[in-house]
């Protein structure tokens, strides 16, 4: 039988993916979850090509993390990620790749509230790109800090997707 940490980790993975689906669908995009976490990408967000206005690039890859332990402090949220994830997220890629950290309440029953006319997903998700970050001498993990101004919202996702469609680098998305 799985222990509590295994159960909560699985719930966090599923909830962060549901959060991404909600934001992307509200923005008019679709999400393809990778499920195998290949090269530190859990999902792809895709936009439909528009005939002659076909974008140069119609997708962004996403690495998802979810935490209840790391509350945003001093206008940033910090979270350790594995060295493997850090190295794969900072490397040069043809497809822009972002890290999304979802902060949820400690108690799983507080993650979501719903009524007859609404559903509320609790707390916020923040995003960054690690593209171009330096190599690290750390051997197991690297702490990443994301400004709380980089909240993953429908408007922010549309901005990122439009920049990606124009061939902009991940650094230009910040």
CATH number, domain at 76? 3.40.1350.10
3-58 pLDDT, tens digit each:
656 688 889 999 999 999 999 999 999 999 886 767 899 999 998 766 566 556 68
* Residues 174, 151 contacting (CB under 8 angstroms): no
Q: What is the pTM of this model?
A: 0.89
Percent of the chain residues topping a pLDDT of 90: 61
Torsion angle, alpha carbons of 66, 70, 76, 81, to 10: -60
Domain of residue 106: give its range: 4-173
Could you give the angle at the alpha carbon of 12 between the alpha carbons of 152 and 100, nearest 5°?
Answer: 25
Measured distance CA(123)–CA(156) in Å, rounded: 17
pLDDT digits (tens, 9 = 90+) for 79-96: 999 999 999 999 888 888
Pairing outcome for strands 59-67 and 97-103: parallel
């Amino acid at each position: 039988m799985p222990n509590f940490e295994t159960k909560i980790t699985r719930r966090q993975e599923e909830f962060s993916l549901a959060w991404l689906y909600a934001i992307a669908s509200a923005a008019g995009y679709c999400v393809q979850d990778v499920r195998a976490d290949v090269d530190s990408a859990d999902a792809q967000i895709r936009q439909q090509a528009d005939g002659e206005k076909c974008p140069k690039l119609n997708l962004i890859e996403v690495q998802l993390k979810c935490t209840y332990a790391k509350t945003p402090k001093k206008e940033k949220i910090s979270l350790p990620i594995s060295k493997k994830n850090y190295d794969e997220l900072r490397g040069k890629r043809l497809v822009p790749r972002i890290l999304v950290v979802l902060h949820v309440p400690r108690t799983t029953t507080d993650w979501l509230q719903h009524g007859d006319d609404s559903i509320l997903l609790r707390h916020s998700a923040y995003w960054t790109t690690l593209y171009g970050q330096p190599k690290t001498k750390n051997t197991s993990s690297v702490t990443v800090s994301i400004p709380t101004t980089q909240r993953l919202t429908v408007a922010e996702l549309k901005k990122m997707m439009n920049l990606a469609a124009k061939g902009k680098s991940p650094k230009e998305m910040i």
